[in-house]
Amino acid sequence: MTFHSKLNYNSVMNEDSKTELTIRQHRGARRRAKTRADLLAAARKVFAKKGYHDASILDITEAADVGVGTFYLHFADKDEAFNTLIDEVFHILEEQVITEVRSHEAITLTVTVHSIFRHAYAQRDLFSIALASGAQVSRTIRVEDTIAGGLIRVFEQVPQPEDLQGYDIQLLARLVTGVIAQGIIWWFDQDEPGPEEMANNVLALLAHGLPASLFTHNN
């Protein structure tokens, strides 16, 4: 074999080795991604069933059918798994709501509230983890911040800005968020009313308020 032949042979072998290494790396990355996803799915079930404080890493790994050591390859502790689960899923939900709302001709409060309740109802197990009693305050704030942010965008794009003159838009968004959050919390113990009826109830309250008789003194 000549010098040039050996050089070409070694070059081909090196390229083949690099290709094989790349394939192995991709396979390894896919396996790690799948294991991570399995752990998060298991964590979601465990947190929903036991709550954050009563859930353990062992509960999660048993539900995912992996060893405890595997858990620590992906997350530092239970808190990181919890935060990752909430952040990733709520980011997806936020994008879904934004996409759905923007698909309409006008971004209105009606469209936004219906979209929020529709997606929240489908993912109410996750909301129960983030909003239920005993959940981390930071997680509750994260959820409420997401809802309030969407409402602020609606208020800022109102066709007739003078309609909101005198209102503090930031405060208004927080107050409406509170009403929506309570509607979502209602589903932690019961499934009815469904998302459309719940949205209609909230919108009716926001549009018409409470009966005037509740604010007058009757002898």
**Residue 101 to residue 69: CA distance in whole angstroms:** 43
**Residue 56 to residue 49: CA distance in whole angstroms:** 12
Q: Which fold has domain 1-75?
A: Arc Repressor Mutant, subunit A (1.10.10)
pLDDT tens-digit series, residues 62-106:
999 999 999 999 999 998 998 898 888 888 888 888 888 888 887
CA angle 117, 118, 124 (to 5 degrees): 75
pTM above 0.85, yes or no: no
**Residue ranges per structural domain of the chain:** 1-75, 77-211
Residue 54 · residue 110 · CB < 8 Å:
no
Q: What is the mean pLDDT of the chain?
A: 84
Place of tokens 């509230």: 113
Residue 129 · residue 44 · CB < 8 Å:
yes
Regions of the chain with pLDDT less than 70: 1-28, 132-139, 218-219
CATH no. of 77-211: 1.10.357.10
Q: What pLDDT is recorded for position 141? A: 78
